Amino acid sequence: MEQIMSSLTVFFDSPFWVGVYQRCTGSRIEAARVVFGAEPKDAEVYAYFLEHWGSLRFSPAVEQNKQLKKAANPKRMQREVHRQLSQSGVGTKAQQALQLMREQQAAGRKSARRERRQQRKQEQFDLRQLKKKQKHKGR
C-alpha cells in the first residue's frame, strides 16, 4: 500500500510571506510555491488552498531516497513535531523540485522566444522576396 504525505510550510522570504506545499507519494516528492504577500492568518491559508487547490502548479516529481518511518512513541513524535516547527525554511527536496520547475519554465520561454524570432525573420524574408518580385514585374 502506497503512503501519501503532505506538508505546508509558511515562512517569511523577504519581502513576502511564502508557502511551500510538499506532497510525497511513495518515494516521489512534488512541491508548489505560493506567494501570500502580507502575513496570512491560518484561516486565510486554509481558505486559499481550498479555493485554489486545482490551480496549484506542482513541480515535476523528484525521487526521494528517504525511507518512511514507522510510528514512534508519542513523546518522541511530539519532540519531532516541535523540532520541525522550530525549523525555518523549506526542505532540500522541495527546493530541488521547485528549482527543476523554474528551469523547465525558463527552457520553455527560451524556445518560445527562439520560435518567435525565427518566425519574424521568415516573415521579413518573405516580404523582401515579394517586394523583389513586384519590382521585377515593374510595379
Contact present, 45 and 112 (Cβ < 8 Å): no
pLDDT score recorded for residue 90: 60
pLDDT score recorded for residue 84: 78
Q: What is the DSSP string of 19-57?
A: EEEEEEETTEEEEEEEEEESPPPHHHHHHHHHHHGGG--
The full set of domain ranges for the chain reads: 4-114
pLDDT tens track for 119-129: 999 999 999 99
* Nearest Cα residue to 28 out of 93, 85, 112: 93
- How far is Cα 106 from Cα 113, in angstroms, rounded to an integer? 10
Average pLDDT over residues 26-45: 86
pLDDT score recorded for residue 29: 86
Angle at 7 between CA 2 and CA 11, to 5 degrees: 160
Q: Cell 515562512, residue?
A: 11
pLDDT tens track for 93-107: 777 788 888 888 999
Set of cell numbers at residue 105:
519554465
pLDDT tens track for 54-92: 888 888 887 776 665 677 788 988 888 888 777 755 667
Contact present, 100 and 63 (Cβ < 8 Å): no
Q: Is the pLDDT of residue 12 over 60?
A: yes
Other beta carbons within 10 angstroms of residue 113's beta carbon come to 10
- How far is Cα 89 from Cα 95, in angstroms, rounded to an integer? 10
Comparison of pLDDT for 33 and 96, the residue scoring more = 33
Please count the CA atoms within 13 angstroms of the CA of 74 that sit on its side-chain side: 0
pLDDT score recorded for residue 139: 66
* Paired strand residues for 7: 22
